[in-house]
Amino acid sequence: MKKKTGVFDVVNIGLLSLLFVATVYPFVYMIAVSLSDSVSVMKGSVFLWPKGFNVDMYRVVLTDPRIWSGYRNTVLYTAAGTAVSLAVTSMAAYALSKPRMLFHKPITIGIVVTMFFGGGMIPTFLVVKSYGLVDTFWSMIVPGAVSAWYLIMMRTFFAGLPQELEEAGKMDGLNDIGLFVRIALPLSKAALATIGLFYAVGIWNNFYSALIYLRNPDLVPLQVILRNIVLAGQTNLDGTFTLGKDQKIVEESLKYATILVGTLPILVTYPFLQKYFIQGVTVGSLKG
């Protein structure tokens, strides 16, 4: 017997459809504008499909050395930062999941407090400077290596693992490090993939730390270059790029092309982690 569609289902489908359109349309519009000729963009006739198809904007973007330098830096920051963040977060979370840990409660309370109160930009900068990290590769990784929110989520996940597995591991002669490496980590692939994706997206989109800590243009990530192009209007990507009176319209197309070039890698990564993401999206919901 076919199930009838209720009012809730209709409303839910309608709201989710509107949300889907509101989320996807900006990307569709940017793609259409970036692939359209300047005349069609100037007339405002581009909405869903490119008109006067051309790839000049992408040719300009992809031949600019700053883009590739920013790509290289961002990939390095994302890869190293995600690895460091996952390592530190998982180790700390596993330790906090054990009530027998020394000073367990005070440390947990201290971590939770940082979720609501912070030292501010200037004290944080002074701390980073005191360690000699300003204008270095590690200034983009170490200051934000651990998120208290993700740490608590991972702690709750580890606390929900069956106690019998730990007892069996101890009977086999495993110590705490062995239990963590050989039992806890293999069972937390979904959680690690989900939190790792969150970390990676945050690091990939991070330009604020670069503005504060970096002075060397060779260390600048891609997002700072995108910010300069989109907000500061730095559109002179090469010396031969001149389009006369249509320059203003072309600048809009160029900005969209640059945004899409900077966003595409992180969007392509998601499908490979989707199966883990769906399973791990409820991480932290277990009682521990």
In a domain, 191, yes or no: yes
Same domain, 50 and 65: no
pLDDT at 166 exceeding the cut of 90: no
The CATH number covering residue 179 comes to 1.10.3720.10
Same domain, 21 and 163: no
In a domain, 288, yes or no: no
Q: Provide the pLDDT for residue 4.
A: 62
Q: Which of 129-138, 248-257, 264-273 has the highest mean pLDDT?
A: 129-138
Same domain, 44 and 62: no
In a domain, 285, yes or no: no
d(CA 215, CA 138): 13
Structure tokens at 288: 């521990």
Q: Provide the pLDDT for residue 241.
A: 41
Same domain, 40 and 63: no
Same domain, 5 and 104: no
In a domain, 269, yes or no: yes
Q: Provide the pLDDT for residue 126.
A: 92
In a domain, 287, yes or no: no
Q: What total number of domains does the chain contain?
A: 2
Same domain, 160 and 41: no
Q: Provide the pLDDT for residue 58.
A: 83
Put residue 58 in one of left, alpha, beta given phi > 0 → left and psi -120 to 50 → alpha.
alpha
Last residue within a domain, chosen from 54, 70, 98: 54
Same domain, 172 and 271: yes
In a domain, 197, yes or no: yes
Same domain, 97 and 221: yes
Structure tokens at 133: 């990290």
When pLDDT is cut at 50, 70 and 90, the band that residue 273 belongs to is low
219-253 per-position pLDDT tens digit: 999 888 877 766 655 444 443 344 444 444 466 77
Q: Provide the pLDDT for residue 283.
A: 54
Q: What is the 3-state secondary structure (H, E, C) of the chain?
A: CCCCCCHHHHHHHHHHHHHHHHHHHHHHHHHHHHCCCHHHHHHCCCCCCCCCCCCHHHHHHHCCHHHHHHHHHHHHHHHHHHHHHHHHHHHHHHHHCCCCCCCHHHHHHHHHHCCCCCCCHHHHHHHHHHCCCCCCHHHHCCCCCCCHHHHHHHHHHHHCCCHHHHHHHHHCCCCHHHHHHHHHHHHCHHHHHHHHHHHHHHHHCCCHHHHHHCCCHHHCCHHHHHHHHHCCCCCCCCCCCCCHHHHHHHHHHHHHHHHHHHHHHHHHHHHHHHHHHHHHCCCCCCCC
When pLDDT is cut at 50, 70 and 90, the band that residue 77 belongs to is very high
Q: Provide the pLDDT for residue 276.
A: 64
pLDDT at 67 exceeding the cut of 90: no
Same domain, 15 and 134: no
- Side chain identity, residue 263: T
Last residue within a domain, chosen from 29, 54, 79: 54
Task: Tell me the pLDDT of the chain averaged across its residues.
Answer: 81
Same domain, 276 and 181: yes
Same domain, 46 and 180: no
Same domain, 82 and 142: yes
In a domain, 1, yes or no: yes
- 288 vs 113 pLDDT, higher one: 113
> Taking the complete model, does pTM exceed 0.75, yes or no?
yes
Task: Give the residue numbers spanning the domain of 15.
Answer: 1-54
